[in-house]
Structure 1
Amino acid sequence: MVSPSPRFLTLPDVAEVLNVTVRQVYALVRSGDLRGIQIGGRGQWRVEQVELEDYIQRQYARAQANLSELDHEHSSAE
């Protein structure tokens, strides 16, 4: 039986999914762009799978808005 994916991911796990560095993920969490929680006595960060998916969807929406804005600027310039 295949075990389900974990509910919470470590910052290195998130970095692997996003193909970025752990430092970049830490910056996203600290800035609030990517919601995470600190657990344990050492305050290790964890990101819930659903929060990561939400972040990814927001980035797609942002990219689409940027493309639409560029298309609009390009068509206005003509």
Structure 2
Amino acid sequence: MEPRFLLLTDVAAELNVSDSQVYHMVRSGELPAIKIGGRGQWRVERTRLEEYIQHKYEETAAWVRDNPLTEREAE
């Protein structure tokens, strides 16, 4: 069974980005997370990560739609 909450390092591995990138995403509010424990350790709920990924797919699709690839002019 997969854990409900992920460490930021787990999220970084899942997204194939650096730990510092995930920390910035969390601190900026881009990726929802919670702070727990006396040391205030960050955790990301797996369902929130999946929602974030889905949102990024939709955001990217909109960008691609609004910025069509044009062919190079013949040289």
TM-score under structure 2 length normalisation: 0.89
Match 2:20 to one of 12, 23, 28: 23
Distance, in Å, in 2 between the alignment partners of 1:22 and 1:51 is 17
Distance, in Å, in 1 between the alignment partners of 2:47 and 2:41 is 18
Alignment-derived partner of residue 3 in structure 2: 6
TM-score under structure 1 length normalisation: 0.86
Q: Which runs of 5+ in 2 are unaligned?
A: 71-75
Q: CA RMSD in A?
A: 1.2
* 1:14-71 alpha-carbon deviations (Å, 9 max, x no partner): 0000000110000000011100000000000000000000110010001000000012
Identity between Structure 1 and Structure 2 (%): 53
Please give the residue correspondences for 1:1-78 in structure 2 after superposition, counting only pairs within 5 Å.
Answer: 4-71=1-68
Instruction: List structure 1 runs of 4+ shifted beyond 4 angstroms.
Output: none
Q: State how many pairs are aligned.
A: 70
